[in-house]
Homo-oligomer: A and B are copies of this chain.
Amino acid sequence: MKWTKSFIYTLKEAPSDAEIASHKLMVRSGLIKKLAPGIYTYSPLGLRAIRKFENIVREEMNAVDSVELLMPMVQPAQVWEESGRWATSGDMGLLKFKNRNEQEFCLGPTHEEVITDFVKRDVKSYRDLPKSLYQIQTKYRDEIRPRFGLMRGREFIMKDAYSFDRDQQAAYVSYDKMYGAYRKIFSRLGADFRVVDADSGSIGGNKSNEFHILAESGEDHILAAEQGEFAANVEVCPAIDAEDPKSANEDLRPVEEFATPNLRTIADLAEFMGRPESELVKTLFFDAAASEKEFKPIAVLVRGSDELNLIKLKKHLDLPAEPRMLTDEEVRKVTGGASPGSCGPVGLSIPVYQDNSVAKMKNIVVGANKDDVHLKHVNQGRDFKVAATADLRFAKAGDKNPAGDGLLTSYRGIEVGHVFYLGTKYSKAMKADYLDENGKAQVMEMGCYGIGITRTVQAVVEQNHDADGIIWPLAIAPYAVHVCLLDAEDQTSSDLADQLTEKLEAVGLDVLVDDRKERPGVKFKDADLLGMPVRVVIGKRSLERGVVEVVDRKSREKSEVEPDKILGFIQDLLKG
């Protein structure tokens, strides 16, 4: 492709709304252009990267016998009413509207309902199962605050796949096949990624993994083993202390009251006592009632240096939603009058839960349930009763790897893929049944599997760039080779560019030829910004010496190569 025949316009300045490098670079290189907040046009160059990634996804989906179809983007309310999600879809950013005939529709950000409706109308027998279907489609989510370009856009391209199986065992097989396909997809991208255990959130189900491309700017916090495979989203990562607390082997000492005037926070207390926060204990208060009509106050103890994980607490208490923290007023009521900064477990008449890390601590420091007074040498069992001990805190770097040796390290990640075992959540609600060998109706078991196509492309840019621009991996580079034709009007130069293009395309390497009448400096700057893996510089003067220059975008290594050896040289470089 010749630059002048395509539509490529680069910008010197990043737009003011671009906060992260990949957003800036994608706009500056003209890959995307904003039409409205979170809504972008994919330029010819941008679309090439997207299409290449789509094809990688397509190949790996097909390889695990998932079959491509295309479902409507506009979905009738009716199927969402069948699944029960029409009323509860607010959080998902479901954009609802009425058509001219006053019928209710939405722009579906996901297709569980539509695919279940599609499959159940044909699949009637165990002989038809398993089935796996996928689509690659433009979707819309009505994000309130779109940001980071394609990372958190309103309109975006997704690959979503759905599996239908006879029973849970078969559904797990489908899940594992898809999991394998995802590993291949992100490996083919050359991306540094982690597969993490994830909370399955509002989509339902109880087996779920996220695929994250690692990047400093990632919105997700991941903990991964220093050695081995284990990784988890911080929201669900088991927390295990690497060492016992210092006080674990102390003898129990008698409780002592001491004055802590105006000390409201753990940090205040730690400074006052000259002890690290990890040796202190926080007492937190929640309403553990399952409905708003009841009131079931509880206290939860966590180490001063830890953060309580509400998702874990919700799961431990088997609540429908995360429990609500009590107001100061309510805390005073349950503690007999103490403000939150001076509370503790001693003397409470409500259940007290504690995090695992508190369980081994001896002679702990807690509030006395009297303002400006704390207790030291408090011990569970002797001084207060524990309703249950459980993993209730957020794990953090330095904790023990829960799946093997070594410790956990902390990463930031961009969630680009997600595999879910759904069970019968949708198939039950929408009556997706089949007849088993005995002619008995059974509910299908489902899984759903998403990859954010456009988000992944940007995540790759986020992970692969330098100060001058993008460094595309070959797998999804808009073009493999970028030819800078320094003297576009020199016949020898442009003939060589044409021949080279033909040779490279014959071996499946696509070529962009910058044939503009621009200064070399402008062309080099744009080549760096656009970031194709290999740059070939064809100049009249170097041609007279019988060479062209080949530059590896990533290493910036330059080589002078004779024209008839370029093809082989580039192939070697790209195998690199």
A contact residues vs B (CB 8 Å cutoff): 5-7, 9, 30, 33, 35-36, 39-44, 46-47, 50, 65, 67-76, 78-79, 93, 95, 97, 99-101, 103, 105, 107, 114, 117-118, 121-122, 131, 133, 137-138, 140, 142, 144, 154-155
Q: Which residue of B lies closest to A517 (CB)?
A: B127
Judge whether B65 and A144 touch: CB under 8 Å.
no
Cα-based distance from A100 to B91 in the complex (angstroms): 11
Judge whether A67 and B41 touch: CB under 8 Å.
no
In this complex, which of A7, A39, A44, A71 has the most chain B Cβ atoms within 10 angstroms of its Cβ?
A7
Cα-based distance from A144 to B101 in the complex (angstroms): 7
Min CB–CB distance A139 → chain B (angstroms): 10
Min CB–CB distance A530 → chain B (angstroms): 15
Judge whether B41 and A74 touch: CB under 8 Å.
no
Residues of chain B with a CB closer than 8 A to A117's CB: 35
What 3 A-B pairs come out closest when comparing CB atoms? A9-B122, A97-B97, A36-B76
Residues of chain B with a CB closer than 8 A to A73's CB: 73, 138, 140, 155
Residues of chain B with a CB closer than 8 A to A41's CB: 69-72, 114, 118
Residues of chain B with a CB closer than 8 A to A131's CB: 7
Judge whether A33 and B118 touch: CB under 8 Å.
yes
Min CB–CB distance A496 → chain B (angstroms): 22
Judge whether A140 and B74 touch: CB under 8 Å.
yes
Q: Which residue of B lies closest to A33 (CB)?
A: B118
Residues of chain B with a CB closer than 8 A to A7's CB: 67, 69, 122, 131, 133
Can you name 10 extra interface pairs (CB under 8 A) apart from A41-B70, A73-B155, A99-B142? Answer: A5-B67, A6-B67, A35-B114, A36-B72, A41-B114, A42-B70, A43-B69, A74-B107, A95-B97, A138-B138
Min CB–CB distance A99 → chain B (angstroms): 5
Q: What is the interface of chain A mostly: helix, strand, loop, or mixed?
A: mixed
Cα-based distance from A97 to B98 in the complex (angstroms): 8
Given contacts A7-B69, A69-B7, A69-B44, contact A142 B100 (CB under 8 A): yes
Min CB–CB distance A501 → chain B (angstroms): 15
Judge whether B72 and A44 touch: CB under 8 Å.
no
Residues of chain B with a CB closer than 8 A to A99's CB: 95, 142, 154
Residues of chain B with a CB closer than 8 A to A137's CB: 138
Residues of chain B with a CB closer than 8 A to A46's CB: 69
In this complex, which of A6, A36, A47, A155 has the most chain B Cβ atoms within 10 angstroms of its Cβ?
A36
Q: Which residue of B lies closest to A130 (CB)?
A: B5
Judge whether A67 and B44 touch: CB under 8 Å.
yes
Q: Which residue of B lies closest to A122 (CB)?
A: B9
Min CB–CB distance A212 → chain B (angstroms): 26
Contact for A100 among B44, B93, B100, B114, CB less than 8 A: B93
What are 25 A-to-B residue pairs whose CB atoms are below 8 Å? A7-B69, A33-B118, A35-B76, A35-B114, A35-B117, A35-B118, A36-B74, A36-B75, A36-B76, A36-B105, A39-B72, A39-B76, A41-B72, A41-B118, A44-B67, A44-B133, A47-B68, A47-B69, A72-B155, A73-B155, A93-B100, A95-B99, A100-B142, A100-B144, A107-B107
Min CB–CB distance A61 → chain B (angstroms): 12
Residues of chain B with a CB closer than 8 A to A5's CB: 65, 67
Q: Which residue of B lies closest to A76 (CB)?
A: B36
Cα-based distance from A120 to B107 in the complex (angstroms): 29
Cα-based distance from A43 to B138 in the complex (angstroms): 17
Min CB–CB distance A281 → chain B (angstroms): 42
Min CB–CB distance A109 → chain B (angstroms): 12
Cα-based distance from A42 to B117 in the complex (angstroms): 14
Residues of chain B with a CB closer than 8 A to A144's CB: 100-101
Min CB–CB distance A2 → chain B (angstroms): 9
Contact for A154 among B74, B95, B140, CB less than 8 A: B74
Cα-based distance from A105 to B38 in the complex (angstroms): 13
Cα-based distance from A506 to B78 in the complex (angstroms): 45
Contact for A74 among B69, B70, B71, B155, CB less than 8 A: B155
Contact for A35 among B75, B122, B140, B142, CB less than 8 A: B75
Cα-based distance from A39 to B117 in the complex (angstroms): 14
Q: Which residue of B lies closest to A51 (CB)?
A: B68
Min CB–CB distance A272 → chain B (angstroms): 47
Q: Which residue of B lies closest to A35 (CB)?
A: B72
In this complex, which of A6, A9, A69, A78 has the most chain B Cβ atoms within 10 angstroms of its Cβ?
A69
Residues of chain B with a CB closer than 8 A to A69's CB: 7, 41-44, 46-47
In this complex, which of A70, A118, A122 has the most chain B Cβ atoms within 10 angstroms of its Cβ?
A70
Residues of chain B with a CB closer than 8 A to A100's CB: 93, 95, 142, 144
Residues of chain B with a CB closer than 8 A to A93's CB: 100
Residues of chain B with a CB closer than 8 A to A138's CB: 73, 137-138
In this complex, which of A65, A73, A99 has the most chain B Cβ atoms within 10 angstroms of its Cβ?
A99
Cα-based distance from A235 to B493 in the complex (angstroms): 54
Residues of chain B with a CB closer than 8 A to A72's CB: 35-36, 39-41, 155
Judge whether A71 and B35 touch: CB under 8 Å.
yes
Cα-based distance from A563 to B78 in the complex (angstroms): 52
